[in-house]
Amino acid sequence: MCATYVTLGAGVLIEIVIQLRLLEASLKEMEGYMDLRGCIHWHVEILTFIKKMQKFCEIGVSAVFMCGVFNICTSMALMIQVDRSGLLFFLPYLSAVVLIIYSQCWCGSAVIYQSEKISYAIFSSKWINADVAYKRLIQIYIQLTNRPLAIRLGGGTFDASLPVFVTVIKTAYSVFTLLQRFEDH
């Protein structure tokens, strides 16, 4: 169940990245009001889709993150106590848990990165010879797209991104060393 949930989430995030990349290419080639209107409509559809995806990720992927940290900590603590044959179980399991968390963070970072390129794509469009009203619309659209899109986790407290992955791994290792210190005493 968890694997299906995580795979579906990563697949949908990859689809968002693809849609943003296609939108970026269309924005660079737009020339008039109709192209601009189509791109804005497409962008609104992407934003609506991200909002729906946000609801999907808010609880489920956050739970996967928390369980992942717990699983990493306990697996590392148990790895110290087992012999070499036990490592044959724990290392692949630990790798799978880390990979699950990494895949979500990588996809989240890809969404952030690709969405940051949208305002530059608008600026790169063929607007120089347009009339003043069109230039004003382009300026407003650029302002609206300056803030990068992100998938928020943990009730909106953090983004799914690679820096969060590093923080999760550091936190798991810190908890592991704390557990090891309690075990030594």
Q: What is the pLDDT of residues 72-82, one digit of tens each?
A: 877 777 777 77
- The whole-number average pLDDT for the span 148-156 is 82
Among 139, 110, 141, which Cα is nearest to 43's? 141
pLDDT band at 100 (very low <50, low <70, confident <90, very high): confident
**Of the listed ranges 8-12, 55-59, 159-163, the one predicted with least confidence:** 55-59
Q: Could you tell me what percent of the chain has a pLDDT over 90?
A: 27
What average pLDDT does this structure show over 2-25?
Answer: 85
pLDDT at 172: 81
Q: Which residue has the higher pLDDT, 94 or 24?
A: 24
Report, as an integer, the average pLDDT of 147-161. Answer: 83
pLDDT at 47 over 70: yes
pLDDT digits (tens, 9 = 90+) for 127-147: 888 889 888 989 999 998 998
Whether the pLDDT of residue 1 is over 60: the answer is no
CA distance 39 to 45: 10
Tokens read off for 137 = 């619309």
Average pLDDT of the chain to the nearest whole number? 85
Could you count the other beta carbons within 10 Å of the beta carbon of residue 153? Answer: 26
Given this model, what pLDDT does residue 184 score? Answer: 67
Please state, as a whole number, how many other Cβ atoms lie within 10 Å of the Cβ of residue 108: 29
**H/E/C letters for each residue in the chain?**
CHHHHHHHHHHHHHHHHHHHHHHHHHHHHCCCHHHHHHHHHHHHHHHHHHHHHHHHHHHHHHHHHHHHHHHHHHHHHHHHHCCHHHHHHHHHHHHHHHHHHHHHHHHHHHHHHHHHCHHHHHHCCCCCCCCHHHHHHHHHHHHHCCCCCCCEECCCCEECCHHHHHHHHHHHHHHHHHHHHHHHC
Encoded tokens for 39: 């791109």
What tokens were used for 120? 């530059």
Instruction: Name the band, by pLDDT with cuts 50, 70 and 90, for residue 181.
Output: confident
Q: Average the pLDDT over 38-61 and give the result.
A: 87
Judge residue 116's burial from the number of C-beta atoms within 10 Å of its C-beta, 0-12 exposed, 13-18 middle, 19 or more buried.
middle
